[in-house]
Amino acid sequence: MHEIICMLIGRLLLLLVAAYELIWRLRQRLHALVFWSYDYWRSTAARERAERAVLERCRFECTKLPKHLVLVIAPNEAYVDAVLLTRLFGFALKVGIQHVSVYDRREQDKGYVDLAAVGEMQADGRFTWPPIKVPKKEENGYKLNGNGYTNGGTPHFEQLKLYQIKANDGHALIADVCRELYQQRKTEFVQNLLQDQRREAITEQISEMLGKRLGFVVPEPELGLIFARQTCTYGLLPWHVRFTEFHTHPSGRYFDVHSFTQLLYKYSRCEQRWGK
């Protein structure tokens, strides 16, 4: 008898959770519709002005900001597209974040965003954003050098560095590094690495080889934003995100400048103790 009562209570509990989830989702969509409509009806200039003010205040109030932000997009996420990512890149650039990595676990036909379509590809395979159209010298007299300054000193284009992380950049890349070291196992270099009892030399070597393969010349991501219904890393770079702060933006919730700054405030408040 007690078992049957427990079974009934369990079903009721799950039903309540499902009902709560449904109401919560409807509320999120309604909230999204209201905010989307508000953004739609006011002019772009007014929206950008308001966003800039919020971002400037955030930049001023936060005691620390990440240099490298990683975005994780769940395989079944339906609300993240190139437009949203572009807005997010804009926010990141305005608060002074320098690097953004995108880890999109969706299939090509299910909303996957290719950074090649959003940013500007560089010679080393990385992307920058926003893409800059270099003015022709004969048109207006500008001549840009490598860092975005003209010979005359203006203008200066700030760009975000973007990295597209793929599913096989995780475990498979570490296996790839291991394979390469194994092929060189008889060399003096690898034999010396193996002598270190604390494994520090070999750890450094793996980090260096992974960095080269990923094209990373940046710090490990300090902050991660997961677009999903639940918090999960989906296999994101197991070597690099060990100290990354993860926050989840629930699927269906409207993402605007306030969502972004809230994330930065949370990051700014957290204390990283590094084991101490």
Partner 1 sequence: MSWVSEYEYTWLERTIMRSLRACAHIPHHVAFVMDGNRRFARSQHIDKIEGHSMGFAKLADCLRWCLDIGIREVTTFAFSIENFKRSSEEVEGLFNLAREKFCKLLDETDRLNEHGIRIRVIGNIELLPLDLQKLIALAMLRTEHNDKLFLNVAFSYTSRDEITQAVKTVLELGEEGHLTGEDISERLLEECMYTRHSPPPDLVFRTSGESRLSDFMMWQLSNSVLYFTNVLWPQITIWNFLGSILAFQRDRSQINELKRSERINASHLAKSTNLYSERVQGFLQTMDTNRRELLLKLSVST
Give the footprint of partner 1 on this chain (CB under 8 A): 2-3, 5-7, 9-11, 13-14, 17, 21, 74-76, 105, 170-172, 174-175, 177-179, 181-183, 185, 190, 193-194, 197-199, 202-203, 206, 228-236, 238-239, 241-247, 270, 272, 274-276
Residue 45 is encoded by which pair of tokens? 């200039």
Residue 99 contacts residue 161 (beta carbons within 8 Å): yes
Q: With respect to partner 1, which residue has the nearer C-beta, 162 or 214?
A: 214
Residue (29 or 247) nearer to partner 1, CB: 247
CB of 269 to partner 1, least distance (A): 10
List C-alpha distances in Å: 22 to 10, 15, 25, 274.
18, 10, 5, 40
Pair of tokens at residue 52: 């800039």
Q: Which is nearer to partner 1, 40 or 274 (CB)?
A: 274
| CA neighbor of 171 nearest in space, from 104, 107, 238, 224 | 238
- Give yes or no for a contact between 167 and 105, defined as CB atoms under 8 angstroms apart: yes
Pick 7 or 83: Cβ nearer partner 1: 7
Question: Can you tell me which residue has the tokens 């296996």?
Answer: 175
Shortest distance, position 182 Cβ to partner 1, whole Å = 6
Nearer to partner 1, 40 or 182 (CB): 182
CB of 165 to partner 1, least distance (A): 13
At closest approach, how far in Å is the CB of 264 from partner 1?
14
User: Which three-class secondary structure state does DSSP give residue 63?
Assistant: coil
Of 15, 25, 52, nearest in space to 250 by CA:
25
CB of 216 to partner 1, least distance (A): 16
CB of 34 or CB of 175, closer to partner 1: 175
CA atoms of 90 and 69, how far apart (whole Å): 13
Smallest gap from Cβ 94 to partner 1, in A, equals 24
- Residue 150 has what DSSP assignment? B
